Amino acid sequence: MTRHTQVEVLLSERIINLPFGSQVHEEEHPDGHGLSDQITTDDVETCEVALLGGSGRKVPVAAVDCSNVHLGFGGGFSYEAARASIVTRSAAGDTHVTRIGPLVAKLPTDSVLSQGYILYALESFAQELAFDQVREGIVLLDGIALADGALHQVSSRAKVVGLSKTVPPQGVHGNGFGFPSEPFVMTKRHSNLCLVRLSRGGFVLRGRVWSRRSTDMPSVFSSLSASDASDMGYPDTLRLAHMFSKILPTEAISARIAITEKHGVRLSEPLDGRKLLLGSMWA
């Protein structure tokens, strides 16, 4: 289904002009198709396992994350805030953070544009920015549910790595299901999905690699291990990107006040149906 809807982006003056600033095509945004071939722990014995050596090439890394929060309703519109952050780490180890937002989307309440629409738009914008910043390195994304098509316009030669925070079962002491205890990557033939352990003792993560050119996953992850610190197997840049993009309650309060002061709209908090129906204890 496609129709045109007016979407206004607030608190964005002199920051960015998002592509959906005037009119957007309403369509369902990607929600993770192409994941039917995910690796599960049942596949362990049929996959190729490669240990990650300590000789990965140091390359620049950029991590992108985005978060959103529903601010409330006012004047027949729904208001949703989103913020993106791009954390780049040079091969020399210098870290730079770019934060964009929070931007607030003013959406008609009768629109099928769901919560998260601005998140998707902003995330796409931030990813492009990251590709520009790291042309030869690795771009890290939060999650693996990105459509392959979403990256087809990327002219960058960067390798794109998606890592999911939804970790697969780790087994006893993180060493069950036949996973090696050393850093490794486990791939399935003809698939860009994998299971990966980036550091010794770290969690096994679900991963995905996109690249314009064919690439071998072990060298990408070896390079990532060498270029970015990790805590419990999760890359530090991605952790920082999440930290700096998250819209905290203080900021949601501030955004509501700013909307009221700038646009004269007093926002009422969204109703929490679960809380109303079940009570705060069981919601």
CB of 243 to other proteins, least distance (A): 6
Q: Which is nearer to other proteins, 160 or 255 (CB)?
A: 255
Report which of 58, 120, 119 is spatially closest to residue 89, judged by C-alpha positions.
58
If the CB atoms of residues 13 and 42 are measured against other proteins, the closer one turns out to be 13
Q: Which is nearer to other proteins, 69 or 113 (CB)?
A: 69
Smallest distance from other proteins to CB 54, Å? 26
Query: What minimum distance in Å lies between the beta carbon of 98 and other proteins?
Result: 5
Q: Which is nearer to other proteins, 100 or 141 (CB)?
A: 100
* Binding positions for other proteins, rule: CB under 8 A: 11-13, 15-16, 83, 87, 94-102, 240, 243-244, 246, 248-251, 253-255, 257-258, 261-262
As measured in angstroms, the least distance from the Cβ of 231 to other proteins is 13
Rank residues 222 and 230 by Cβ distance to other proteins and give the closer one: 230
Residue 27: what residue type?
A: E
Closest approach, Cβ 73 to other proteins, in A, equals 19
CB neighbours of residue 52 within 10 Å: 26
